[in-house]
Copies of this chain bind each other. A is one copy, B any other.
Amino acid sequence: MSNDNQGTGLELRSLVRSSGELELSLARVPIPEPAAGEILVRVEASPINPSDLGLLLGPADLSSGVVSGTDESPIFTAKVPEAFMRMAAARADESMPVGNEGAGVVIAAGAGAEQLVGKTVAMLGGAMYAQYRCLKAADVLVLPDDATAADGASCFVNPLTALGMVETMRREGHTALVHTAAASNLGQMLNKICIAEGVGLVNIVRSAEQAKILTDIGATYVVDSTSPSFLEDLVKALVATGATLAFDAIGGGKLPGQILNAMETAANLTATSYSRYGSTTYKQVYIYGGLDTRPTELSRAFGMSWGLGGWLLTPFLIKIGPEAAQKLRQRVIDELKTTFASHYSHEISLAEALKPEVIAGYNRRATGEKYLINPSKGL
């Protein structure tokens, strides 16, 4: 921090103007004073998750993006197509901080939280793409002494989502799972969990390279949606596992309907009598991401016993209650460097996060590419 900026820190802001423009900038904001029970964290690592991109980039047309301002304080602007402004209406003209989760070092504490000063902690709660974050001590996880901020930066979203899928499966009476975009960081965690717990998992990937990532870590059922035998392979894996619940990160296109239809075919293969309304086996697909923003297209040949819906981590954690949620969190800490290890391909500064070529990179959401923002980098 240069001297003339003492007492302030940078915070990444996303603003959608009602005139139809996205603006990303770095705001200089006062460093908060932690109140009783609060801590002040110097953020050192915060991942760019797919779940951050919606708020960060909105529905902007990135190909129209231009940069103005200075190297130290760049401003990225891009057009938001008219058709999408309706979606963005609720956030229009409000400068919003971004970043779901992160980790850093506690540099100050209010009364009752002094013992945390100097510790490296993991945080969830938004506004993590910032140099400093003040929050309640009760809301952070203290990382083990041998863990860096980068180790703990992705402590919440992916690990708890993967654990939440298995927990949802049990609570809703299913016995095995289907997962799409399955070679992702999250998908690899899910494989490790399911292998450890003996839960059948059907992994749907989109290339042979992605399939190899999963078979290399011990996945049994990997089907490639680009293969001509995809639907048959999927039915076979569903019959073998008995999976009737899927989590889909993609959302758009035909995949959710194809999964429901394959589940119906699998159920009918083992049915003993014909039911006029299709199989009575309940089939559920939860869409938890939106890698494909095109419409979802369902060819309904899967009877009447089915559900499709949205799934989101925070409401899930609220639903299961604080005690059950805490158990999941503790498991993440216990297995931070094994089951829940995250890998980053790029570490960038706050200013770099506003460069068009870098934005294009993290917005590609490519398998094997994962971006980590380090707000203390380059200062």
Contacts and interface: CB of A to CB of B under 8 A. Distances in A.
Interface of A: 51, 54-55, 86-87, 89-91, 94, 96, 251-252, 257, 265, 268, 271, 274-277, 280, 287-288, 290, 293, 295-301, 303-312, 315
The oligomer's copy count stands at 2
Pairs of residues from A and B, 9 with the lowest C-beta to C-beta distance, nearest first: A304-B310, A307-B309, A55-B276, A296-B298, A304-B312, A91-B274, A295-B299, A308-B308, A90-B268
A50 to B, nearest CB: 12
A182 B268 CA distance: 33
Contact of A54 (B268, B277, B295, B298): B277
Contacts of A87: 301
30 contacts: A54-B276, A54-B277, A55-B276, A86-B265, A86-B301, A87-B301, A90-B268, A90-B275, A91-B274, A94-B274, A96-B276, A251-B300, A252-B300, A257-B295, A277-B312, A280-B315, A290-B300, A295-B298, A296-B297, A296-B300, A297-B298, A298-B298, A304-B310, A305-B310, A307-B307, A307-B308, A307-B309, A307-B310, A308-B308, A309-B309
A102 to B, nearest CB: 16
The residue among A90, A271, A275, A280 with the most chain B CB atoms within 10 A of its own CB is A90
A99 B300 CA distance: 23
Given A90-B275, A295-B298, 16 more contacts: A54-B276, A87-B301, A89-B268, A94-B274, A252-B300, A287-B300, A290-B300, A295-B297, A295-B299, A295-B300, A296-B300, A305-B312, A305-B315, A306-B309, A306-B310, A307-B307
A275 to B, nearest CB: 8
A303 B310 contact: yes
Given A252-B300, A287-B300, A96 B312 contact: no
Contacts of A91: 274, 276
Contacts of A309: 306-309
A91 B274 CA distance: 6
Contacts of A275: 90
Nearest to A309: B307
Contacts of A295: 257, 297-300
B310 A90 contact: no
Contacts of A55: 276
A281 to B, nearest CB: 11
A304 B311 contact: yes
Given A297-B295, A298-B295, A298-B298, A274 B96 contact: yes
Q: Which of A55, A94, A251, A298 has most B Cβ within 10 Å? A: A298
Contacts of A305: 310, 312, 315
